[in-house]
A = this chain, B = another copy of it.
Amino acid sequence: MPTPIDFYFDFSSPYGYLASERIDALAAKFGRTTDWHPVLLGAVFKETGMAPLTSIPIKGDYSRLDFARSARYRAVPFNMPEKFPISTQTPARIMLWLKGNDPARAVRVAHALYRAYFVHGTDISDVDQAIAVVAEHGVDRAAARAAIADPAVKDALRHEVERAMARGVFGSPYMIVDDEPFWGFDRLDQVEHWLAKGGF
């Protein structure tokens, strides 16, 4: 049984969102599954001295253009949210909590959260708004609210981020296929080639 593709993403990452719309189909094409890992880029950026793309002079304006163009290029619905970037503890904790109980639903909920933010502009950093999104997928509102505030869930997310950084993850999306790392939505082509050839 081939190992899953590790898919690291931050819920505030436009390229992470774009990758989230392609990664499962890509994996399935080669008989693979995907292991979805929500991470917090804020913690990672502290280590690397990096900053959100849109905050960098000159490069920031280009990035906004490239988010939208890359979405059109791959025919993924996309609208740049007015509030950007956002802190993503809330959606990441919900995803991680669900993952422990029902991984398939966790992925459906992750898709719903990402689309709420990057298609409809919903502020998923807000607890009430995030809960409204996941409730549409049968998640119990009170249980979700409790999970977001649960020290054990907070710890689990902290450990997930630490494990990701220990594996070298420094951006979103970041894919690891059989120990080979790939960073960026624009590396899915190389991921596909890697899976097809078994390395290159």
- Chain A positions near chain B (C-beta within 8 angstroms): 47-50, 56-59, 61-62, 65-66, 69-70, 72-73, 165, 168, 170-171, 181, 183-184, 186-187, 189-190, 193, 200
Docked-complex contact B62 and A58, CB < 8 angstroms: no
Given A56-B48, A56-B50, answer yes or no on A170-B62 (Cβ-Cβ < 8 Å).
yes
Q: How many copies does the complex hold?
A: 2
Given contacts A50-B56, A57-B48, A57-B49, is CB(A190)–CB(B73) below 8 Å?
Answer: yes
- Smallest Cβ-Cβ distance to A200: which chain B residue: B72
- The reply to whether B190 and A70 contact each other, CB–CB distance below 8 Å, is yes
Q: Of B56, B61, B62, B183, which one neighbours A66 at CB under 8 angstroms? A: B183
Q: Which residue of B lies closest to A165 (CB)?
A: B58
Task: Report the bound CA distance from A193 to B72 in whole Å.
Answer: 11
From B58, B168, B193, A58 is in contact (CB under 8 Å) with B168
A62 partner, pick from B65, B72, B168, B193, beta carbons under 8 A? B168
Given contacts A48-B56, A56-B48, A200-B73, whether A61 and B190 have CB atoms under 8 Å apart is: no
Return 7 A-B CB contacts under 8 Å, by A number. A48-B57, A48-B59, A59-B183, A66-B183, A69-B190, A73-B189, A73-B190
Residue A73 contacts which of B57, B165, B168, B193 (CB distance < 8 angstroms)? Answer: B193
Quick one: which of B58, B165, B171, B186 contacts A187, CB cutoff 8 A? B186
Contact (Cβ within 8 A) A59 B200:
no
Q: Give the distance in Å from the alpha carbon of A11 to the alpha carbon of B186 in the complex.
A: 23
Whole-angstrom CA separation of A61 from B168 in the bound complex: 9
